[in-house]
Structure 1
Amino acid sequence: MPQPVLAGSPRLEVWRTSKRVRYAREGDVLTARADGILLAMAMIPANQAILARTEDVYGALFRAKGSLHWQRLHNYIPAILGAEDGNERYRLFNAGRQAAFAAALHPVEAAPAACGLGAPATSPLLVYGLATAEPGRPIENPDQVSAYRYPPRYGSAPPIFARATHGGGAAARLFFLSGTAAILGHESLHPGDVAAQLETTIANIRKLIEAAAAQGDRVRAEKLRLRVYLKHEADLPEIQAGLARLLPEIEPPPILAADICRPELLVEIEGHAALTR
Structure 2
Amino acid sequence: MDIKQGVDSVPAGRTFAWELCDLAVAAAREAADLVRAQRAGGIGHVATKSTDTDVVTSADRAAERLITDRLRHARPADRILGEESGTHAGRSPVNWLVDPIDGTVNYVYGLGHYGVSIAAQVNGVTVAGVVRDIDSGAQWHAVRGGGAWRDDRRLTGSAVTDLGVALVATGFGYQPQRRARQGAVVAGLLPHIRDIRRFGSAALDLCLAAEGLVDAFYESGLNTWDFAAGGLIAEEAGLRVTGLAGAPAGADMVLAAPPALYGPLHERLAALDAAAG
Q: Same fold (TM over 0.5)?
A: no
The structure richer in strand per residue is: 1
**TM-score between both structures, scaled by the size of structure 2:** 0.32
The structure richer in helix per residue is: 2
**TM-score between both structures, scaled by the size of structure 1:** 0.32
Task: Pick 1 or 2: higher relative contact order, CA cutoff 8 A, min separation 6.
Answer: 1
